[in-house]
Structure 1
């Protein structure tokens, strides 16, 4: 359910961008998510964390980079590229997060991680270059794809740093801090952007786009996150991360339902990325199963 909600958010967001600016969409997402998470904390009687000023500054700073950077890159990028490309790029996030961890801990990535890196990048580049790898020599990429890639890097860094923050701050209040931090940054950007008019845009939107905004805020953000926490608790982080590979699949299916184009090249790229992520883990799982059986 979680990966379906996250995957569906790409084509739903693409559809909403036909009537509202990317910054307006992100403001809606953060506002709705902040209200929902605040009500959830009150319902669960969660107290405000007792943190030092340094800890608050670190939590807010990391949230601005990760949550704000992700959404800014993602939705501004979707204005200039399609939902399937965005979902495919974001599918690299678990792999990039593990590579950031290897670099930070000064450890050489495992053979499985290197295999995944090469195969997954091949699949993504196949789609982003439309099969013309000669574009790599001139770095000719769609600007929207570049923005989403930067957003993915921000999210991967945020995911890695969050592992440390989670030791002294509960995740639900931390997520609320992230939503409020992102809302603050986007509000400042809107204030200094003459071409963005959130109130006028919001009053003029159709019912279908209003439904898109509610879906992204309630289900794609709050619902997806709470389902992810529940899944990780029951399956463990390693097993739960396998399901992240279904995000581009659900994005493609939802895009098809919306009437958005899904090309054969995108489907091939998705298959390559999913294979690159799954094969090393399946080989490791099979090796562990055989080891236990032999013992």
Structure 2
């Protein structure tokens, strides 16, 4: 429980940290640097824990691992942080509440993969969850949001990024010969090839500017948090906690992410209004209610 709590608090702080970083550097360059730092730390730990043989494929598909790493790390980092940047000062709140909807997204992805509709109570929870998201994003003023097209692009990118992480998480179940640490490390490094490739292409085509030395120096404190802490430590705590508690219990801690982000953002001067607090409460309630329903259903099935 402590491991899951630490992980979700560290992830929750991540979004306000990124609000400041994204004023100084583009999300693609930052994502490349962040996962390079986290990747080095993961590789050293894997080498220490499992030895040099841990870097072998062991019969698993490296192309699929590359695809999942690209989706999970390049997709999540690029889409979520670009969406957060487009959302302005409200971006941290919007992105954090999207993270709490990932279990609901997972429910829909699982239903799609298995080609079976989720139970009606779970679908109701999905609707409640996304209603809460809508309240946070629109600040309770849906009409004004509909008249501002930039809301669609920013929110759509964050949703797409969150969905990328759900797909990456689901993909780990197919790598049964790899430990959780090995899956994370190998896919991080394979995904880095895509992250860096996209980053270089965007710089060469002048879609984004090459980072200046001043910009890199300015985001060094942010990288210290986002790489070793929010990347390396948070991932390890999340893996450890979920292995002990199980995903059904671990997923409840996703509610801590928006709560942490709301508190840190408020301390930084971005205070959520009543509609946004209500939206966060709705999303959290939907996650808990769906969890309780699935538990009860599993007991009846037994």
Pick the TM interval, shorter chain: 0.7 to 0.9
Match for residue 7 of structure 2 among 2, 9, 16: 2
Per-residue CA deviations over 1:216-262 (Å, capped at 9, x if unaligned) read: 11111111111111111221111111111211111111212233343
Separation of aligned partners in 1, 2:58 and 2:47 = 22
* C-alpha deviation, 1:190, in angstroms: 2.4
Match for residue 172 of structure 2 among 162, 180, 204: 162
**Residue matched to 1:80:** 86
Q: Which runs of 4+ in 1 moved over 6 A?
A: 135-139, 286-289
* C-alpha deviation, 1:283, in angstroms: 5.2
* C-alpha deviation, 1:54, in angstroms: 6.8
**Does the CA contact (< 8 Å) of 2:99 and 2:254 recur in 1?**
no
Q: Could you say what secondary structure the match of 2:117 adopts?
A: coil
* C-alpha deviation, 1:20, in angstroms: 1.6
1:181 aligns with 2:186: no
**Residue matched to 2:3:** none
* C-alpha deviation, 1:176, in angstroms: 1.6
**Does the CA contact (< 8 Å) of 1:20 and 1:202 recur in 2?**
yes
Per-residue CA deviations over 1:256-280 (Å, capped at 9, x if unaligned) read: 2233343322211101100111123
* CA gap 1:43/1:144 in 2 versus in 1, 3 angstroms: same
TM-score with structure 2 setting the length: 0.86
Structure 2: segments with no counterpart, 5+ residues: 1-5
Separation of aligned partners in 2, 1:104 and 1:256 = 40
Match for residue 96 of structure 1 among 105, 109, 117: 105
Q: CA RMSD in A?
A: 2.5
Structure 1: segments with no counterpart, 5+ residues: none
Separation of aligned partners in 2, 1:80 and 1:18 = 11
Separation of aligned partners in 2, 1:210 and 1:178 = 25
Separation of aligned partners in 2, 1:286 and 1:153 = 27
**Does the CA contact (< 8 Å) of 1:26 and 1:72 recur in 2?**
yes
**Does the CA contact (< 8 Å) of 1:24 and 1:196 recur in 2?**
no
* C-alpha deviation, 1:135, in angstroms: 6.8
Q: Could you say what secondary structure the match of 2:86 adopts?
A: coil
Separation of aligned partners in 1, 2:298 and 2:152 = 42
Separation of aligned partners in 1, 2:243 and 2:58 = 28
